[in-house]
Structure 1
Amino acid sequence: MSRRGLLLLYTGNGKGKTTAALGLALRAIGHGQKVFMIQFMKGNSNYGEIQASKYLPNFTIIQKGQDKFVKKGNPDPLDIKLAEEGLELAKEVLQKGEHDLVILDEINVSVDFGLLKEEDVLSLINLKKPHTTLVLTGRYATEKLISMADMVSEVREIKHHYEKGVPAQEGIEF
């Protein structure tokens, strides 16, 4: 079967966008494919996926963020620098074409928060090799990104355990 790389987008206000992308990663690895994930705006090695990737030789995860929340409208210059580094790394990975699946986690939020420019992300998409599937995650996907995508899934929050005062759970949120 010939492989056609797609542009997939997970957006919306509900929990599960990164989780869905990680599910794709696991499925791809199960078929012997190579996966590269860049996590924008995240910088904590305690995430379960970071720990799991140590056991999966075909799965590379790089975090390009600080271990703190980014302020929308007034980002720390270091947050901008890290996001730009992540974008440059994504360009390199896509141009080399060595990975079957490339995930840019929270890149939509990086654009919305002003860490990256929409036009830079749009031009990045054009670097994708025909066999590579590119996944963009995060709330606030722009209309242009949505229109370019082959598939868009909107994750909508209906109910969340935070509402009952239950804090973030290891293995669920991180």
Structure 2
Amino acid sequence: MVEKIETPIVREPLKQGLVQVFTGGGKGKTSAGLGTVLRASGRGLRVYVIYFMNTSYDSGEHEVLHQLPGVKWAAFGPGLVRHPEKPSSEIRERAGQALREARRAMLSGDFDVIVLDEINIVTGWGWLDIKDVLQLVKDKPEQVELVMTGRLAPPELIEVADLVTEMVKIKHPYDRGIPARKGIEY
């Protein structure tokens, strides 16, 4: 039997924050970002997750994120988009709002870790100007960890990141017609 030991969580600010990019066509990019959230929360760090694609919908991650100490999140995304190459002005505006909120939060001093979920694909599709995303990275305070997820990470972003992991799809249940499953994919 494993005994749970209660220990107080003490926040020690990061001495050096880095830029992490999780990209590629395989599953696990958001999960990797949320793994960072879980570890950071467990160490008392203050975390903000900004969703660029997802809306506030019924998902397991949204159900539990607000229960983690020191974790906040906001969703700006349009949800499923059928023709990403022709985004409406509203979709572009939501992406811009998310980026402005990311900048505000990153520079506020209120957070140690900022996760920008699906910013890579939004940028890859041209909903955000890569120059603006690179400026965000350049302006990152030393003690802030910036985590950026999503397929289609632009080469310029990969170049400036400190850590880049590409998830490669070998097989996926979607290819066999198995839809997303509650509690596993959402």
* Band of TM-score, shorter chain: over 0.9
Q: Secondary structure at 2:50's aligned position in 1?
A: strand
Offset at 1:45?
Answer: 2.2
Task: State which drifts further: 27-36 or 70-79.
Answer: 70-79
- Equivalents in 2 of 1:37, 1:168: separation in Å? 22
Kept in 2, the 8 Å contact 1:36–1:59? The answer is yes
Kept in 1, the 8 Å contact 2:41–2:69? The answer is no
Kept in 2, the 8 Å contact 1:44–1:66? The answer is no
Kept in 2, the 8 Å contact 1:111–1:118? The answer is yes
How does the TM-score come out when normalised to structure 2? Answer: 0.89
State the identity %: 38
1:111 corresponds to which residue?
Answer: 123
Q: Runs of 5+ in structure 1 lacking a partner?
A: none
Deviations 1:86-112 (A, max 9, x none): 010011011112211100111011112
Offset at 1:66?
Answer: 2.0
Kept in 1, the 8 Å contact 2:50–2:117? The answer is yes
Deviations 1:52-96 (A, max 9, x none): 122124111111112332522201221111100001001101111
Kept in 1, the 8 Å contact 2:44–2:69? The answer is no
Matched, 1:150 2:162: yes
TM-aligned CA distance change 1:109 to 1:70, over 3 Å:
farther
Amino acid at match of 1:26: L
Offset at 1:114?
Answer: 1.8
1:44 corresponds to which residue?
Answer: 56
Deviations 1:8-44 (A, max 9, x none): 0000000100011001100000001111010101113
2:133 corresponds to which residue?
Answer: 121
- Equivalents in 2 of 1:21, 1:164: separation in Å? 27
Q: Secondary structure at 1:171's aligned position in 2?
A: coil
2:22 corresponds to which residue?
Answer: 10
- Equivalents in 2 of 1:110, 1:49: separation in Å? 20
- Equivalents in 2 of 1:53, 1:105: separation in Å? 14
From 76, 80, 84, give the equivalent of 1:72.
84
Kept in 2, the 8 Å contact 1:97–1:128? The answer is no
Which one has a bigger Cα radius of gyration? 2
How does the TM-score come out when normalised to structure 1? Answer: 0.95
- Equivalents in 2 of 1:143, 1:66: separation in Å? 25
- Equivalents in 1 of 2:158, 2:146: separation in Å? 13
2:173 corresponds to which residue?
Answer: 161
Offset at 1:127?
Answer: 2.1
Q: Where does structure 1 differ by over 3 angstroms across 4 or more consecutive aligned residues? A: none
Offset at 1:115?
Answer: 1.1
Task: State which drifts further: 56-65 or 20-29.
Answer: 56-65
RMSD between aligned residues:
1.4
TM-aligned CA distance change 1:25 to 1:105, over 3 Å:
same
